Amino acid sequence: MHLSPLSHSPPVTAPHRPPREQRLFPEEATNASIIGTSGRSSVHCLKMAALRPACSSQRTRSSKKIESDAAVFTQQPTDLVVVAGQPVTLPCSIPGYHGMVLWLRDGMALGVNRDMSGYPRYDIVGDHSKGEYHLLIQRTDIQDDAHFECQAIQAAMRSRRAQLTVLGKELFIFGSYPRQQW
């Protein structure tokens, strides 16, 4: 019995998939970058801080090295005390960084880059081309008494958390003082 190959049938092949090192899930594609090479294959690793543990320690070290070469905070917010009603500026400078910058107050996002439309007393000042994203708060209020933080989103970097303490305008003095006789 002689079997001849079926010439009219298309060959059966597995669906094309890129090599394992190059596969990314769609949601990872925008947050991933090549952080190093291993032999002939590129290594992809997420730069988002929360997902870094999924990468090997060697890859994480490479990721941090590239991030530190690309962007470094030269000014970060510091703890400040201000009297209510006075303006205050919290510094944030990241020279050479051209991605999105986010300010947070007690962990809640205030706005991205220079858009603080939801907070009319807040503004981002400084020379954008030099990487300056200083947070200016006009007429501070007791509600501004909080922790503030500046984040460089694409570099997955965050500044130190700074405590802004806002003192009330009224000064209360407690103690015993002699009463004046009228």
∠ CA 134-138-143 to the nearest 5 degrees? Answer: 100
3-class SS at 95?
coil
Which carries the bigger pLDDT value, residue 84 or residue 117?
Answer: 84
Q: What is the pLDDT of residues 53-108, one digit of tens each?
A: 333 333 333 333 333 456 899 999 999 999 999 999 999 999 999 899 999 999 99
Q: Highest mean pLDDT: which of 18-22, 52-56, 122-126?
A: 122-126
Residue 116 has pLDDT above 80, yes or no: yes
* CB 140 within 8 Å of CB 85: yes
Q: Measured on CA atoms in the order 107, 113, 118, 120, is the torsion positive or negative?
A: positive
Residue 19 has pLDDT above 90, yes or no: no
Query: Can you give the pLDDT at residue 71?
Result: 82
Assign domain 80-167 to its CATH architecture.
Answer: Sandwich (2.60)
Q: How far is Cα 158 from Cα 145, in angstroms, rounded to an integer?
A: 20
- How would you classify the pairing of strands 80-83 and 162-167? parallel
Q: How far is Cα 66 from Cα 166, in angstroms, rounded to an integer?
A: 38
Query: Can you give the pLDDT at residue 63?
Result: 37
CATH 2.60.40.10 boundaries in the chain: 80-167
